[in-house]
């Protein structure tokens, strides 16, 4: 098994974006696709490593770019400035998500009938918003994602199965946000499930997260459990 990886440029209107893809070249032919949406910091090494791990599981992994080629935040202040325009204009965010989906469908290794999306933090919201657009993909997974519904899709019809992996003590996604999301998904007719991890804050999958005052702390057990839950979910939806 050899994991091949590279970057690919794509467009949203006149904005140049740069995705990162990985696949196992020992797998013959097309294979299921997993889109990976990054945190508020941008398409960094964290999601590149996730792409390689997914490639080792037999998937074509595509780490999307929401901000633009080479644009990364280097501080919480910069990260917030990069993310905020998409939080304020969810239609802009959804358009960019669909540009990445269209791009990965053109790749020769992609099985366009078996596509899923995952995301971390801001990327969790991206994965959920992709499902909210009504695209016909198999499923989405949110890891400690932002959960607030967009105002431009008041009554979504969600075709994708939904898995939400969340920390009970996440200050960015308190229990009332979880309840609101569950009600939204039920009204949308979605097949959904929520796994809530006790004594777990935001960013629990990120080994460098260590800021209890802001509610961002790595939790290795929740990290392991959530990754296994995602693998089981992908196996189910791609069967």
Spell out the per-residue pLDDT of the chain, length 239, in tens.
Answer: 899 999 999 999 999 999 999 999 999 999 999 999 999 999 999 999 999 999 999 999 999 999 999 999 999 999 999 999 999 999 999 999 999 999 999 999 999 999 999 999 999 999 999 999 999 999 999 999 999 999 999 999 999 999 999 999 999 999 999 999 999 999 999 999 999 999 999 999 999 999 999 999 999 999 999 999 999 999 999 99
CA distances from 220 to 194, 225, 238 (A): 19, 9, 27
Question: Is the separation of the CB atoms in 134 and 158 below 8 Å?
Answer: yes
Q: Check which CATH number belongs to the domain holding 170 and give it.
A: 3.40.50.1820
Owning domain of residue 204: 3-237
Which pTM value belongs to this model? Answer: 0.98
Per residue in 78-110, is it b (16+ CB within 10 Å) or e — as a string?
ebeebbeebbeebebbbebbebbbebbeebebb
Total tally of structural domains belonging to the chain: 1
pLDDT (0 to 100) of residue 1:
83
pLDDT (0 to 100) of residue 68:
98
């Amino acid at each position: 098994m050899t994991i091949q990886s590279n970057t690919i440029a794509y467009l949203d209107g006149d904005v140049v974006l740069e995705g990162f893809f990985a696949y196992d070249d020992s797998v013959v032919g097309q294979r299921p696709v997993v889109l990976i949406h990054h945190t508020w910091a941008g398409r960094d090494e964290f999601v590149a490593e996730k792409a390689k791990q997914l490639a080792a599981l037999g998937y074509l992994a595509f780490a999307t770019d929401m901000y633009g080629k080479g644009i990364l935040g280097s501080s919480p202040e910069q990260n917030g400035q990069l993310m905020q325009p998409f939080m304020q204009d969810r239609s802009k965010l959804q358009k960019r998500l669909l540009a990445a989906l269209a791009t990965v469908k053109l790749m020769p290794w992609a099985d366009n009938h078996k596509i899923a999306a995952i995301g971390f933090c801001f990327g969790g919201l991206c994965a959920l918003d992709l499902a909210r657009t009504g695209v016909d993909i198999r499923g989405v997974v949110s890891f400690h994602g932002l959960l607030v519904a967009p105002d431009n899709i008041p009554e979504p019809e969600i075709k994708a199965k939904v898995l939400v992996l969340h920390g009970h003590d996440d200050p960015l996604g308190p229990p009332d946000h979880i309840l609101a999301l569950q009600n939204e998904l039920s009204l949308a007719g979605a097949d959904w499930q929520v796994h809530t991890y006790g004594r777990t804050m935001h960013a629990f999958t990120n080994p460098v997260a260590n800021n209890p005052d802001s509610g961002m702390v790595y939790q290795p057990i929740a990290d392991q459990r959530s990754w296994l839950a995602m693998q089981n979910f992908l196996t189910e939806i791609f069967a």
